[in-house]
Amino acid sequence: MNKQTPRGAGKGRYRSALSRRLLAQYLVALVLWAVGLTALGLLGWSVCNAIIWQPTNPIYWVLQWVREYVLLVYGGLLAGGWVAESYYFLSRPLRYLDEIVEGAKRLAQPGEALVELPADLKDIQDDMNLAKQQALRAEAAAREAEQRKNDLIVYLAHDLKTPLTSVIGYLTLLRDEPEISAATRARYTGIALDKALRLEDLLNEFFEITRFNLTHLELETAPVDLALMLRQVAAEFGPMLAEKKLECSLELPETLPYNCDPDKLARVFDNLLRNAVNYSFEGGTVAVRAEAGPTGVTLRFQNPGPTIPPEKLDRIFERFFRLDASRGSASGGAGLGLAIAKQIVELHGGRITAQSGNEQVEFAVTLPPQENRKILE
């Protein structure tokens, strides 16, 4: 579990480091001034003693006065230097504050120009530039996600028209041609039903986008048997597996108790299995394995399918990212399934990863261990 930095810790770090640096510089300057003034006085005293001064020389009387009031002169010069250095070092924080304010203004300005501060403020400068770079990356990612969402909505709107037109067309034929044969009527009805189901899938995608953007996921945990849940979810994919001539291999323990949000975790399993079925080679085997150990519970979903390029594998959990750009297939989703799965798994304190190679794709879900394993009675 990551330790959070206490509020104000960074600010205290800057303050203490800068204060120590300024205090050290201030003390060094005072010492140098005192040592330099003393050395200069001793040097001047030696030089003046080496010269024979005549009372008629005006400098003689000045030196005579200095000799009589040497402590007063030395103390005055020392105090004057102390006042000047104190003023200089006390005014530096104000100048630094002005620099930081100007840097903050530049930080808020659009563009990629970095903030430049004095050398004493390098730590603050580095953190300000890091914050700006992170903000620029977040802004770019948000723009890209928004663009992908907008493109997706445009595609969905276009795709809605196609099945809707087909449904209207075939239903119109059934209405206007009452004398058609039973076989033709059944074929038209089947086509209209398929198009209506596709229309339903597209509408569900619209609702999925809305839910993902407008709601915040919260967990409602309860004790559950993950092995039983996986068997139930896999059984629901029987028709999809049969359609692609796929088999589903389950390598699960007899029971796998875990305290989690059953509805949301079932959604994760559904998304991963659906993804495996949609992108599997026909006639292959989708494998689901689960095991519990000291490091937690690991669930693996593996299917034979096209190898995912590394550049796409790195982005596969991003919102609205889809492996195939085509919207024509029924398997084409909104690109939210894996993003939602990642969010749900991370809410449980786990992580989800993907790897692909040699025409095999595997997603692994790792859930953290729980102290109380006896959660099923």
235 and 343 belong to one structural domain: yes
Entry pTM:
0.51
Which residue in the block uniquely carries the two structure tokens 């609205």?
320
CATH number, domain of 249, equals: 3.30.565.10
278 and 329 belong to one structural domain: yes
Position 298 confidence tier, pLDDT thresholds 50, 70, 90:
very high
* Domain encompassing residue 81: 9-109
279 and 304 belong to one structural domain: yes
User: How large a percentage of the chain has pLDDT more than 70?
Assistant: 75
CATH number, domain of 207, equals: 1.10.287.130
The tally of domains found in the chain comes to: 3
Q: What span, in angstroms and rounded, lies between the C-alpha atoms of 365 and 113?
A: 41
249 and 196 belong to one structural domain: no
- Section 239-266 average pLDDT: 90
64 and 174 belong to one structural domain: no
Position 345 confidence tier, pLDDT thresholds 50, 70, 90:
very high
349 and 285 belong to one structural domain: yes
Q: Is position 162 within any domain?
A: yes
How many C-beta atoms surround the C-beta of residue 276 within 10 A?
25
232 and 362 belong to one structural domain: yes
Last residue of a domain, one of 166, 191, 214: 214
Q: What span, in angstroms and rounded, lies between the C-alpha atoms of 221 and 202?
A: 31
Residue 15 confidence (pLDDT) above 60: no
Q: Is position 104 within any domain?
A: yes
Virtual CA dihedral for 289, 291, 297, 301, nearest 10 degrees? -10
Which is higher by pLDDT, 253 or 85? 253
Tell me the pairing of strands 222-225 and 257-260: antiparallel
Residue 119 confidence (pLDDT) above 50: yes
226 and 361 belong to one structural domain: yes
Residue 320 confidence (pLDDT) above 60: yes
Residue 364 confidence (pLDDT) above 90: yes
* Contacts of residue 251, Cβ cutoff 8 Å, sequence gap at least 6: 287, 288, 289, 290
Q: Is position 131 within any domain?
A: no
How many C-beta atoms surround the C-beta of residue 7 within 10 A?
7
pLDDT of residue 166: 82
Q: How many angstroms separate the Cα of 21 from the Cα of each of 29, 35, 124, 127?
A: 12, 21, 14, 18
Q: Is position 152 within any domain?
A: yes
Q: Is position 103 within any domain?
A: yes
207 and 231 belong to one structural domain: no
Q: Is position 285 within any domain?
A: yes
Report the DSSP beta bridge partners of residue 362. Answer: 302, 355
Q: Is position 2 within any domain?
A: no
Predicted confidence (pLDDT) per residue in 176-212, tens digit = 888 888 888 888 898 888 888 878 877 776 776 666 5
Handedness of CA 156, 158, 163, 164 (dihedral sign): positive
Least confident of 47-51, 103-107, 213-217, 348-352: 213-217
Q: Is position 33 within any domain?
A: yes
